[in-house]
Amino acid sequence: MAKTREPDCANTYICGETVKLERWLPLLLWGVLILGPLVVVTLFFAVDRDGGAFLTIANGILDGKLPYRDFFDHKPPGIYIAFALVLALTKRSIWGIKVFLLLLSLGFGFFTNWSLQGLGFGKKTRWLGGTLGLLGWIIYQGYTPVTETLVACCLAAALAVLFSQRKGSTFGAGFFLGLATLTKQPVALLVIPFVAYASMVKGKRAGLIFLSAFVFSLGIAGAALWILGLGPSAWHQIVVVNFTNLPLGDIREIVKGNFNQFFLAPTLWILAVLTPIFHRRRENYFLSALLLFSWVPVFLRPISHYILVALPAGVILAAMSAHWLIQQMELQGRYALVCLVGFPLWLQGLFPTMAAFSHNVLFLQRQVGVELQTLTRENDPILVIAAEPQYYFFSHRYPPGEDLYLLAINYSSGKESAMIAEIQKKTVRVIAVAENQYTEKYGSLVRDYVEHRCKKYAYFPNLQLYIWNKCQ
């Protein structure tokens, strides 16, 4: 029986195309399965309460208003400045902010890849780390305009620079950590493991350099606030209010919430915890300490996007574990491990992606903004009760006072009375009332007054939002 002759692939067009297909197919699948959901959820997910406050303050900066003077909020200035720059470059478009968030997520994946390269890992492990990072980014709400997105990217950059071993890497890492702290206060805790690692690996002088860079970045921002006359009010809102009036939940709810956050991506955290067991090196102990310090705010308030701060260290550790496990397995076992780790994370990431694509809440929010603009003149104030400040941004209108929301951190019955007085004086003619737990708890007086004295203009059932005007 004659043997079948194999084609000579060296000189055939068909075999050349097959090789190209095999080379590009993994990248194509990665783009569809990983990058595709990330793009959809980032571009089309609705703006939440935190993002609404930050975007409104950023918009106000472009209109000559200042945080801590014209607006109350308890975050450092980094997030407002970053968003104000993006809005200025994109003609105040929400899509500009969405693209910026997408760039932050890709930057996070890039810096994770770079960190693993600095630690001596090959291309496949670096790609795995970047992929785990982007999946974790989706699961823990990195697609929303919150402080943690900027923090996670800056923290990943600090690690990448530190592990690169290049000249000036210690100073650069300290500067990036300072930028992260200028966006969210608890990140300052991370200076402890960073300085300890720099001192042990590169000497005490390196630890001092890192600390100097960290203080230098904070000092620039502090000096700018004092020059603008915002020093006392900024200190009060960023430090005093934030650490004396921060709402904490019941201990049982905190424990339950932390378990829920863990089980959103258990394979990621299990792999991260296993790394120091597989390979004992100073970098792994440093990353484990960094992971623990990053979880401190989550232990107090288990909110999904808080965990973005723990993601840079956690993803690098998880990629290391996966690398060492893969080395111990046969080829089929390696594929099984990747599927076991990646598929649950990918599946979990599909839920917010589908919600963003199907519910169209972002477009409804923009529609509300148009309605509020229609009912008011350019400089007219409006009121949004009690904690939906995104409608100030979408309508390009501001409240009559400094409060963009009423929550436990700034609530008093006197503030509700002051808002009612503004309605009675006809200073405010349009009020938007969201029917949710926050309005029930912090805005019921204003809501009850509006319902009895004003005329209902519109209702958006999918947003549970009423617009009222023509108050008596």
Give me the torsion for CA of 61, 63, 64, 68, rounded to 10°. Answer: -40
Q: Is residue 249 very low, low, confident or very high in pLDDT (cuts 50, 70, 90)?
A: low
Q: Higher model confidence: residue 201 or residue 22?
A: 201
Q: Are strands 430-434 and 455-460 parallel, antiparallel or unpaired?
A: unpaired
How many residues are present in the chain? 472
Q: 233: which residues sit within 8 A by CB, 6+ positions away?
A: 68, 69
Residue 162 confidence (pLDDT): 95
Residue 18 confidence (pLDDT): 57
DSSP 309: G
pLDDT average, residue stretch 160-167: 89
As beta bridge partners, residue 455 has 469
* pLDDT exceeds cutoff 70 at 19: no
Whether the Cβ atoms of residue 402 and residue 71 lie closer than 8 Å to each other: yes
In the chain, the amino acid numbered 195 is: V
Burial of 357 (0-12, 13-18, 19+ CB in 10 A): middle
Residue 325 confidence (pLDDT): 83
Q: Is residue 281 very low, low, confident or very high in pLDDT (cuts 50, 70, 90)?
A: confident
Whether the Cβ atoms of residue 84 and residue 58 lie closer than 8 Å to each other: yes
Q: 191: which residues sit within 8 A by CB, 6+ positions away?
A: 177, 181, 210, 211, 214
* pLDDT exceeds cutoff 90 at 21: no
* pLDDT exceeds cutoff 60 at 9: no
DSSP 90: T
Residue 28 confidence (pLDDT): 83
Rg (CA), the chain: 25
Residue 351 confidence (pLDDT): 81
Q: Higher model confidence: residue 138 or residue 328?
A: 138
- What CA–CA distances, in Å, run from 263 to 134, 268, 270, 308, 423? 17, 10, 10, 15, 47
Closest CA to 159 of 280, 283, 324: 283
Residue 329 confidence (pLDDT): 75
Mean pLDDT is lowest, of 104-113, 145-154, 337-346, for 337-346
Q: 78: which residues sit within 8 A by CB, 6+ positions away?
A: 147, 150, 179, 182, 183, 221
C-alpha to C-alpha distance for 369 and 392, rounded to whole angstroms: 8
* pLDDT exceeds cutoff 70 at 2: no
Question: 149: number of CA atoms within 13 Å, CB side?
Answer: 28
pLDDT average, residue stretch 350-360: 77
Whether the Cβ atoms of residue 155 and residue 180 lie closer than 8 Å to each other: yes
Residue-wise pLDDT tens digits, 193-229: 999 999 998 888 999 999 999 999 999 999 999 999 9
Sequence ranges of the domains in the chain: 33-353, 361-469
Q: 277: which residues sit within 8 A by CB, 6+ positions away?
A: none
Q: Higher model confidence: residue 259 or residue 74?
A: 74
Whether the Cβ atoms of residue 406 and residue 415 lie closer than 8 Å to each other: yes
C-alpha to C-alpha distance for 188 and 214, rounded to whole angstroms: 9
Residue 243 confidence (pLDDT): 79
Assigned token pair, 126: 């670096």
Mean pLDDT is lowest, of 15-29, 259-273, 310-324, 400-414, for 15-29
Residue 16 confidence (pLDDT): 55
Residue 1 confidence (pLDDT): 46
Mean pLDDT is lowest, of 20-24, 90-94, 286-290, 464-468, for 20-24
Closest CA to 285 of 165, 212, 201, 205: 201
C-alpha to C-alpha distance for 159 and 140, rounded to whole angstroms: 20
As beta bridge partners, residue 434 has 465
Average pLDDT of the chain is 89
